[in-house]
Amino acid sequence: MNKTADINDIRKLFPALEQSVNSKKLVYLDNGATAQKPQQVTDLVNLMNSGINGNIHRAVHELSSKTTELYENSREEVMLFLNAAHREEIIFTSGTTAAINLVAASFGDKFLKRGDAVLISEAEHHSNIVPWQLICEKKGALLKVLPVDDCGHWRMDMLDALLDENVKIVSVSHVSNVLGLINPVEELISMAHSRGIPVMVDGAQSVVHLNIDVQKMDCDFFVFSGHKLYGPTGTGVLYGKRELLEEMPPWMGGGDMVETVTFEKTTYAPLPLKFEAGTPNFIGAAALARAVMFVNSLDKEFTQKQEHAVVNFMVEELSKIEGLKLYGTQGDRISLFSFTIDGVHPADLAMIMDKMGIALRSGQMCAEPLMRRYGVEAMLRASFAVYNTLEEAEYFITSLKRAIKMLS
């Protein structure tokens, strides 16, 4: 099948991009928060909600068979997408946050004890900080932090000392939702593994922009959200190496995750169901597979070329704006840019630009410690997706300059 290599063909698949906002054609640059959905994703959600609807795994009737098949096929699709070795290594969750909480609670319950430590980086989303704080508090373990330098890069020179014998797990983002830099996860994983320490990679931002191969990366866990990958909200994935997942206790109890239940003792279902208690979002999971199929239908060479063009243009143009500070510089990055401008509040800028039809993110970006690291209270972020054009980037830069003038 021919892969799509034309941005107008891609845009046609996204009805949301057709709308006007504040009487201006929408320029949607808040993809790091959530992406728009292609027609094939919303069509499947509608189709299932309006008919192909029966609870999975539980019944012999036709509708249940159909939804079960869609759900399990989706697991297969995600397995291939991540190049996981086994289908049982793919656990459906409600998102990145749920997946991290699952690992923190379950892995932490089994493997953390008083005096142990968990290592994260200074550039984590709250979702990759708070779950670890919760389990560390419960277990009397310590949360250690790998700092970033002024450019936003991990202080790899400090890693050796930080990875001491107390560290039982490392959990880091592949790409920070603020800095947009592609972190050297493979180097970190290899160092951690040489000390027998497993690593979880938060792929919420990277999975949309990079090719992920969990076997090549050799991460022990990889997590992402469906809604940032052109899929439905309330969906997400935890990939985990089978041997580790098998050793970990269930996180939530309920239907579908059990083998036998008596009042005295319950035995658990094998992977992956052990971690999928209750009725899952089976419609969402099936639609997530459609989103993955959409991504697979794109010409990778074309999308990467397009992304490089946007990155080069944005970095160059942003650097020309007086008083603008870009966070995350020097090195490979995705098309996500967070910045501040002297004397102008990001929220005011975001509001004016909304009036110009441009959707941006402003605020603490769910990364308060990183805001503190750079001594700011808030930033403004423009994040691009495969359907964003270079013309939109140009319109963004012109509008930003106009908005700054209005506020200065």
Q: Which is nearer to ligand PLP, 292 or 344 (CB)?
A: 292
Residue type, 223: V
Beta carbon of residue 203, minimum distance to ligand PLP (angstroms, whole number): 8
Q: How is residue 162 written in tokens? A: 């930080």
Q: What is the rounded CA–CA span in Å between residue 368 and residue 372?
A: 6
- Residue 202 within binding range of ligand PLP, rule CB under 6 A: yes
Nearer to ligand PLP, 37 or 125 (CB): 125
Cα angle 235, 302, 15; round to 5: 50
Distance in angstroms (rounded) separating the CA atoms of residues 20 and 17: 8
For residue 131, whether the previous peptide bond is cis, meaning omega lies within 30 degrees of 0, is: no
For residues 4 to 43, the per-residue mask of contacts with ligand PLP, x marking binding by CB under 6 A and - elsewhere, is: ----------------------------------------
Question: Which one of 137-145, 197-205, 291-299, 331-339 is the stretch in contact with ligand PLP (CB under 6 A)?
Answer: 197-205
From start to end of 281-403, where are the E strands?
324-327, 336-341, 358-359, 361-363, 379-383
Distance in Å, CB of 406 to ligand PLP, minimum:
29
Residue 136 among the catalytic residues? no
Any contact of residue 274 with ligand PLP (CB under 6 A)? no
Measure the CA–CA gap between 76 and 406, rounded to whole angstroms.
Answer: 52
In one-letter notation, the amino acid at residue 143 is L
In terms of CB distance, is 100 or 314 closer to ligand PLP? Answer: 100
127 part of the interface to ligand PLP, by CB under 6 A: yes
Nearer to ligand PLP, 96 or 306 (CB): 96
Question: Residues of 174-213 as b/e, b for ≥16 C-beta within 10 angstroms?
Answer: bbbbbbbbbbbbeebbebbeeeebbbbbbbbbbbbbbebe
From 106, 173, 303, 399, residue interacting with ligand PLP (rule: CB under 6 A) = 173
Residue with smaller CB distance to ligand PLP, 223 or 352: 223
3-state secondary structure (DSSP) of residue 332: coil
DSSP state of 154: B
Query: Is residue 205 part of the contact set for ligand PLP (CB under 6 A)?
Result: yes
CA-only gyration radius of the chain, Å:
22
Q: In this chain, which of 37, 125, 139, 290 binds ligand PLP, going by CB under 6 A?
A: 125
Q: Per the residue annotation, which of 136, 151, 219, 366 is the catalytic one? A: 366
Q: How far is CA 179 from CA 188, 218, 358, in A?
A: 18, 24, 20
User: Per CB under 6 A, which region of 62-70, 199-207, 256-264, 299-307 contacts ligand PLP?
Assistant: 199-207
Only segment of 39-47, 91-99, 283-291, 388-396 that touches ligand PLP (CB under 6 A) = 91-99
Name the minimum Å distance from CB 246 to ligand PLP.
Answer: 25
- Cα distances from 99 to residues 128, 137, 138, 276, in angstroms, run 10, 19, 19, 11
Q: Is 101 in the site for ligand PLP (CB under 6 A)?
A: no
Per-residue burial over 314-323, b if 16 or more Cβ lie within 10 Å, else e, is: bbebbeeeee
Return d(Cα 29, Cα 290) in angstroms, integer: 23
Could you say whether residue 122 binds ligand PLP (CB under 6 A)? Answer: no
Stretch that binds ligand PLP, among 38-46, 202-210, 351-359, 387-395 (CB under 6 A): 202-210
Residues 209-268 that bind ligand PLP (CB under 6 A): 225
Residue 95 within binding range of ligand PLP, rule CB under 6 A: yes
Q: Find how far residue 46's CA is from the centre of its chain.
A: 25
Measured from the CB atom, is 95 or 280 closer to ligand PLP?
Answer: 95
Residue 281 engages ligand PLP in binding (rule: CB under 6 A) = no
Contact 300/211 with Cβ under 8 angstroms? yes
Contact between 97 and ligand PLP per CB under 6 A: yes
Query: For residue 126, what are its two tokens?
Result: 């709250």
Q: What is the DSSP letter of 18?
A: G
Q: How far is the CB of 361 from ligand PLP (least distance, A)?
A: 9
Q: Can you tell me the distance from the alpha carbon of 64 to that of 344, in angstroms, rounded to the nearest whole number?
A: 55
Q: Which residues bind ligand PLP (CB under 6 A)?
A: 95-97, 125, 127-128, 173, 177, 202, 204-205, 225
Active site residues: 366
